[in-house]
C-alpha cells in the first residue's frame, strides 16, 4: 500500500487483542471475586482460599514460559482460540462444581487456558506495535485489567442474587473471545513471521550475559513485590473491608472494583510514558513511589482506605508494561519466552503470595497481613541496579525496525 508510514501501528489488531484480553481476564476474575460465595457454600478456611489461588496461578506460571519458549521457535497463531476454549471449560467446571476438589480443577483449567493465551497474545501486540512497544503493551494489558475489574461487579449484581451456577452465563463471553481470537490468529499467520524477522534483524544487544542475568533477577524481585502486594488486595480486600469496617459483601465488592478500575487506568499510563521518558523511570516511580501510601493504608478510616487503595492501584499498575518491555529488550528474539516468564511470574507469585498471606491471616488477622505487606514496595529501590537501555536514561527509546507498510493490515 502506498501512503502508509513505516512503523505504522496496527490499532485494529491491538484493539481486538485488548478486547480478547478483557474477555479472558474477566472470566478469570470471576473465579477470584466468587471466593466469598465458595467460602460460604463449601465452608472454606482462608488457607483453602489461598490454595485455590495457588492452583490457578501456579498452573499458569509454570506453563507460560514453556509455551512462550516453544512458540519463539514455532509460532502457533491458532493456539489463541484453543487457550480460550480451555478457560471456557474451567468456568463451566466452577459453575457446577459439587465439591472443593472440583473448584481446584476449575481453577487449574483457567490457569492452563491463561498459560496458552498470554505469551502469544503479548507477542501479537508487539508485532502490531509499529515500534511503540510500551504503548502497544499498555493497550493490550488495559483490556485484561479492565476485564479483571469487572469480576466484583458481575459477582455483586449477577452471581450473588442467582447463585454459583449463574457463572455459566459468562461462557458466552468466552465464546465471543474464541471467534475474535480465530480472526487474530489469521492476521498473525499472514503477517507475523515477516514482521518478527525484521524486528530480530534490527536488534543488537550490547550487554553481557552477566548484566542481563542481574537485570532479570532485579526485574523478578520487582515483579514479586508488585504481585505479592496485589495478591493481598485482590484475594483479601473484600474480607478486610467486611471485617475491619463491617461493610456488607456487596459494598466491599464495589470498593474492590474501584481498586481494580484504578489498576486498569494505571496500565494505560505506564506504557506510553515509558516510551517517552524511559522504562526505568516508570519502574522507579510505580514501585518505590507507592511505598508511603502502602505504609499508611492499614491505619486510616474507611473513606481514606478507599482513596489510598485507588491511588496505590493507579501507581503500582503502571509498572508491568515497563517491566515487560524492558525485559523483552534485554533478550531480543525471545519475546514469547520473556512474555511467558513475566506473565507466569505475575500469576505464580500472586498465587504464592495469596497462599502465604491466607495462612498468615488464619494465624493472625487480615489487618496484620496488610501491615506486613505495606513494606513490599521497598523492594523498588533495587531499580537502581538496572542498566539503561536505549532511552531509559531519559528521553524516547530508540525505535525497533522499520516495517514495510504492506505487511501491516489496513
Domain ranges of the chain: 11-390
Let me know: does 409 contact 13? Beta carbons within 8 Å.
yes
Let me know: does 130 contact 404? Beta carbons within 8 Å.
no
pLDDT digits (tens, 9 = 90+) for 129-151: 877 788 888 888 888 878 877 88
Average pLDDT over residues 152-170: 88
Residue 56 in this model has a pLDDT that exceeds 80: yes
Q: DSSP code of 34?
A: T
Q: pLDDT value at position 146? A: 82
Helix axes 171-187, 11-33, angle to 10 degrees: 150
Question: Could you tell me the pTM of the whole model?
Answer: 0.69
Q: DSSP code of 6?
A: T
Rounded Cα gap, residues 139 and 121, in angstroms: 12
Cell matching residue 28: 478469570
Fold of the CATH domain 11-390: Growth Hormone; Chain: A; (1.20.1250)
Name the residue with higher pLDDT: 49 or 293: 293
Let me know: does 113 contact 86? Beta carbons within 8 Å.
yes
Q: DSSP code of 396?
A: P
pLDDT digits (tens, 9 = 90+) for 287-341: 888 999 999 999 999 999 999 999 999 998 888 888 888 888 888 777 778 887 8
Rounded Cα gap, residues 213 and 209, in angstroms: 6
pLDDT digits (tens, 9 = 90+) for 100-121: 999 999 999 998 998 889 888 8
Average pLDDT over residues 337-354: 77
CA 321 vs CA 135, 155, 345, 348: distances in Å: 8, 28, 14, 18
Amino acid at each position: 500500500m502506498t501512503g502508509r508510514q513505516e512503523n505504522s501501528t496496527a490499532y485494529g489488531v491491538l484493539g481486538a487483542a485488548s478486547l480478547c484480553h478483557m474477555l479472558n481476564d474477566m472470566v478469570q476474575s470471576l473465579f477470584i471475586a466468587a471466593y466469598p460465595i465458595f467460602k460460604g457454600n463449601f465452608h472454606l478456611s482462608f488457607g483453602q482460599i489461598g490454595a485455590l489461588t495457588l492452583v490457578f496461578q501456579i498452573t499458569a506460571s509454570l506453563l507460560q514460559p514453556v509455551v512462550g519458549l516453544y512458540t519463539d521457535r514455532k509460532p502457533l497463531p491458532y493456539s489463541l482460540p484453543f487457550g480460550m476454549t480451555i478457560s471456557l471449560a474451567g468456568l463451566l467446571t466452577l459453575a457446577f462444581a459439587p465439591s472443593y476438589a472440583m473448584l481446584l480443577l476449575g481453577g487449574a483449567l483457567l490457569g492452563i487456558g491463561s498459560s496458552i493465551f498470554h505469551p502469544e497474545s503479548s507477542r501479537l501486540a508487539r508485532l502490531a506495535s509499529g515500534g511503540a512497544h510500551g504503548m502497544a503493551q499498555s493497550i493490550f494489558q488495559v483490556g485484561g485489567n479492565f476485564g479483571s475489574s469487572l469480576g466484583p461487579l458481575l459477582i455483586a449484581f449477577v452471581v450473588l442474587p442467582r447463585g454459583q451456577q449463574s457463572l455459566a452465563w459468562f461462557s458466552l463471553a468466552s465464546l465471543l473471545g474464541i471467534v475474535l481470537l480465530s480472526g487474530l490468529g489469521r492476521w498473525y499467520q499472514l503477517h507475523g513471521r515477516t514482521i518478527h524477522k525484521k524486528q530480530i534483524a534490527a536488534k543488537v544487544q550490547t550487554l553481557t550475559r552477566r548484566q542481563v542475568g542481574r537485570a532479570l533477577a532485579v526485574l523478578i524481585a520487582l515483579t514479586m513485590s508488585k504481585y505479592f502486594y496485589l495478591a493481598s488486595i485482590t484475594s483479601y480486600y473484600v474480607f478486610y473491608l467486611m471485617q475491619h469496617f463491617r461493610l456488607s459483601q456487596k459494598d466491599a465488592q464495589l470498593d474492590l472494583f474501584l481498586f481494580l478500575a484504578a489498576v486498569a487506568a494505571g496500565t494505560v499510563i505506564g506504557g506510553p510514558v515509558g516510551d517517552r521518558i524511559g522504562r526505568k523511570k516508570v519502574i522507579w516511580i510505580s514501585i518505590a513511589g507507592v511505598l508511603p501510601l502502602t505504609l499508611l493504608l492499614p491505619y486510616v478510616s474507611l473513606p481514606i482506605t478507599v482513596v489510598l487503595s485507588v491511588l496505590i492501584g493507579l501507581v503500582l499498575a503502571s509498572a508491568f508494561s515497563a517491566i515487560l518491555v524492558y525485559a523483552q529488550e534485554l533478550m531480543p528474539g525471545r519475546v514469547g519466552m520473556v512474555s511467558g516468564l513475566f506473565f507466569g511470574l505475575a500469576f505464580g507469585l500472586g498465587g504464592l503470595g495469596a497462599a502465604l498471606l491466607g495462612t498468615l491471616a488464619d494465624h493472625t488477622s487480615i489487618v496484620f497481613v496488610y501491615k506486613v505487606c505495606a513494606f513490599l514496595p521497598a523492594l523498588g529501590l533495587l531499580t537502581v541496579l538496572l542498566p539503561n537501555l536505549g532511552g531509559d536514561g531519559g528521553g524516547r527509546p530508540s525505535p525497533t525496525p522499520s516495517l514495510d507498510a504492506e505487511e501491516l493490515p489496513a
